[in-house]
Amino acid sequence: MASAVNPSPKLIHTAACLIIGDEVLGGKTVDTNSAFFAKWCFSLGIQLKRVEVIADDEDEIVEAVKRMSNRYDFVVTSGGIGPTHDDITYQSIARAFNLELKLHQPAFERMKRLSKPHPLQPKFDWNTPSPDLTAKLRMVELPYDPKRTDAEQALFVADSLWVPIAVVNGNVHILPGVPRLFESLLENLKPLLVPRLANPEGRGIYRFLISTPLPESAVAPHLTELAMQAAPYDVKIGSYPRWGKKRNTVTLVGPNKEYMESLVPIVEARTQGKRVSAEDELDSDVEGSK
């Protein structure tokens, strides 16, 4: 495994995700990375507080990444780090924190070792200056902070990938937009983050489902009261209508499994409901009783 240094000792309670790309806003590409990141955070017990989608616009990126870095413990960006002119994430984030771009030599060496030139670039040479080489170098010219070591600013978390996770301001992690790479890098980053979680054992957040035949208006008073009681235990109670169905769903979400278990019979009694493993679990029972 290549070098992977913990970029900050700060505990991770909250997270945010910044999706960067005109193609997402224009409907050309469907964003799946934010959904993956949400599930990834949930599995680790990290509270995902915000997801934003913005254009390939330097001012937009600068504003968003500075704000997120100030407000949240762990920030991930997705997209805009390729070889073309509109891939401006690195330069924008460098500007956000008053940093210069610098060739990250270890990343460049990994790129040369682990990537192969395109078949339509048969004359490409790593040692010969060319427009193609200049384009490739854009992907390893990272925001550089002279106060931090190289290893802190580019995490290599997978031996099979040359792509680094660039880390800026201690908590901004710059990832590619390609879902396969985004997901692989996050999964391989996980072992480095577990010691910094609010729950160092790496337990995730739990979600319990209670299916109820009552309308939301009927369960609202009970849930409001329970939500106030559960708040000190960091447990949230939600209610979600299922349009066109005979049953709605009440959720208990939080890290305190034992306390949540104690709430289940109370919620079941007050909502005439039943705990289920999937929202549609009792739909067939309702249909069969017609």
Nearest to 216 by CA among 261, 249, 176: 249
pLDDT band at 9 (very low <50, low <70, confident <90, very high): low
Q: Is pLDDT above 80 for 233? A: yes
Q: At what angle do helices 216-230 and 257-271 cross, to 10 degrees?
A: 150
Q: What is the mean pLDDT of residues 159-163?
A: 92
Pick the CATH number of 206-276 from 1.10.10.10, 3.30.70.260, 3.40.640.10, 2.120.10.30: 3.30.70.260
Lowest mean pLDDT among 179-193, 201-215, 257-271: 201-215
Q: Residue 152's Cα: distance from chain center in Å?
A: 20
The confidence score (pLDDT) of residue 203 equals: 66
Burial (Cβ within 10 Å: 0-12, 13-18, ≥19) of residue 160:
exposed
SS (H, E, C) 90-139: HHHHHHHCCCEEEECHHHHHHHHHHCCCCCCCCCCCCCCCCHHHHHHHCC
> What percent of the chain has a predicted confidence (pLDDT) above 90?
70
When pLDDT is cut at 50, 70 and 90, the band that residue 264 belongs to is very high
Q: Where on the phi/psi map is residue 211: left (φ > 0), alpha (ψ -120 to 50), or beta?
A: beta
Residue 210: predicted pLDDT: 95
Number of other CB atoms surrounding residue 206 within 10 Å: 16
pLDDT band, residue 32 (cuts 50/70/90): very high
Give the mean model confidence (pLDDT) for residues 72-85. 94
> Is residue 69 predicted with pLDDT exceeding 60?
yes
The pLDDT of residue 101 is above 90? yes
Kindly state the average pLDDT of the residues 160-175: 95
The pTM is what? 0.81
Q: What is the mean pLDDT of residues 153-158?
A: 94
- With 60 as the cut, is the pLDDT of residue 80 above it? yes
Task: Calculate helix-pair angle for 58-71, 89-96, nearest 10 degrees.
Answer: 60
CB-CB contact of 140 with 112 (8 Å): no
pLDDT tens profile 186-206 = 999 999 988 888 766 556 788
- Delimit the CATH 3.40.980.10 region(s) of the chain: 14-196
Instruction: With cut-offs at 50, 70 and 90, classify the pLDDT of residue 6.
Output: very low
User: Which pLDDT value is given to residue 127?
Assistant: 85
Q: What is the mean pLDDT of residues 23-49?
A: 93
First to last CA, the chain: 60
Indicate where the chain has its CATH 3.30.70.260 domain(s).
206-276
For residue 22, what pLDDT is reported? Answer: 93
Higher pLDDT, 127 or 48: 48
Across 237-244, average pLDDT: 91
Q: Is the per-residue pLDDT at 94 higher than 90?
A: yes
Task: Assign 282 a pLDDT band (cuts: 50, 70, 90).
Answer: confident
Fold (CATH) for 14-196: Molybdenum Cofactor Biosythetic Enzyme; Chain A (3.40.980)
Q: What is the mean pLDDT of the chain?
A: 90
